Amino acid sequence: GEQVEQLPSSLIVQEGASVLINCSYTDSASVYFPWYKQEPGKRLQFIIDIRSNMERKQTQRLTLLFDKKTKHLSLHITATQPGDSAIYFCSASNDYGSSGNKLIFGIGTLLSVKP
Amino acid sequence: NAGVIQTPRHKVTGKGQEATLWCEPISGHSAVFWYRQTIVQGLEFLTYFRNQAPIDDSGMPKERFSAQMPNQSHSTLKIQSTQPQDSAVYLCASSVQGNERLFFGHGTKLSVL
C-alpha cells in the first residue's frame, strides 16, 4: 500500500525565516495530496492541496510544489511567524472529489518558530 | 458552528473492557472518516463512510473494532476487549463529500490500563 514519508521530522527556525518540508510517496496511482497542520491543543486543519495534474500551487505564504516523476512534494512557508508553529502533515490519496478515498498520512514535521 | 464533535474527550478503560466512541459530523457533510493517532504510528486510517454507507474499512483491526453510522448525524467506533496497544487519540473527520478538505474533531483520547 501507499507509504508517505516526510523530512525533516522537526525543525526550529527564527521568526521571519523560510522553511521547506519535504514529502515523498510510493504509489504512482496517487493523484491527490492535501496537507494539514495541527497546532498545539487544536484540531487538525486543512491548509493546502494539489492534484497530480498540477506542478505548483500557492496560497498566501504557502507554496506547494509537486514532481510526479520523482514522487516528491515540498511545502515552502515564507516569512514564518510563531503562530505557524505546528505539526505539518503531508497526505496522499488515489482519488479525489465525491469518490475520494482514504488519505494516507506521513508521520508529520514539527515546526517551531522562535520569536 | 461547533465543527465535528467527538465524545467523550477522554476515556479510561481497563484491559478487556469495551469502549464506544462517538462522532457527530458537521451538518450536511456526507463523508465521515475515522483515524487513530499515536506518536509512534502517526495518523492511521481506520474506516470511511459516505452517505452513511461503509466504503472502506481496510484499516480496522478486524476482530475487536467495529464502526457504524446509523444516521447522518452520528457515527460510532466500538472497541471490544480493549488492549493497552489500543491507547491512542481517535479522530473523526467529515467533509462535504469525498476526501477534500476534511474537518477534524478534537479527538477522543483512549487510555487502556
Q: Rounded to the nearest 10 degrees, how much is the dihedral formed by the CA atoms of B6, B11, B15, B20?
A: -30
Q: Which residue of A has its CA nearest to B40?
A: A107
Cβ pair B86, B112 in contact under 8 A: yes
pLDDT of residue A98: 78
What tens-digit pLDDT sequence spans chain A (115 residues)?
899 999 999 999 999 999 999 999 999 999 999 999 999 999 999 999 999 999 999 999 999 999 999 999 999 999 999 999 999 999 999 998 877 899 999 999 999 999 9
Asked if pLDDT for residue B1 goes beyond 80, the answer is no
Query: Within an 8 Å CB–CB cutoff, is residue A5 touching chain B?
Result: no
B91 contacts in chain A (CB < 8 Å): 44
Question: pLDDT at position B2, please?
Answer: 85
Three-state secondary structure of A55-112: CEEEECCEEEEEECCCCEEEEEECCCCHHHCEEEEEEEECCCHHHCCCCEECCCEEEE
How does pLDDT run across B36-51, given as a tens digit for each residue? 999 999 999 999 999 9
**Alpha carbon of A75: minimum distance to chain B alpha carbons (Å):** 17
Query: Which residue does chain B place closest to A91, by CA atoms?
Result: B43
Cell, residue B19? 469502549
Q: How far is A100 from chain B (nearest CA, A)?
A: 4
Cβ within 8 Å, pair B99-A107: no
CB A105 to CB B43 under 8 A? yes
Report residue B8's pLDDT band, with 50, 70 and 90 as the boundaries. Answer: very high
pLDDT of A99 reads 79
Shortest Cα distance, chain A CAs vs residue B83, angstroms: 23
Confidence of residue B62 (pLDDT cuts 50, 70, 90): confident
Residue B103: per-residue pLDDT: 98
- From A45, A98, A108, residue closest to B98, measured CB to CB: A98
What DSSP designation does B85 have? G
Instruction: Quote the pLDDT of residue B51.
Output: 94
A and B: number of Cβ contacts within 8 A: 69
Does B104 sit within 8 Å of A44, measured CB to CB?
A: yes
Contact (Cβ atoms closer than 8 angstroms) between residue A109 and residue A7: yes
Q: How many Cβ atoms sit within 10 Å of the Cβ of residue A110? A: 15
pLDDT in tens, B26-38: 999 999 999 999 9
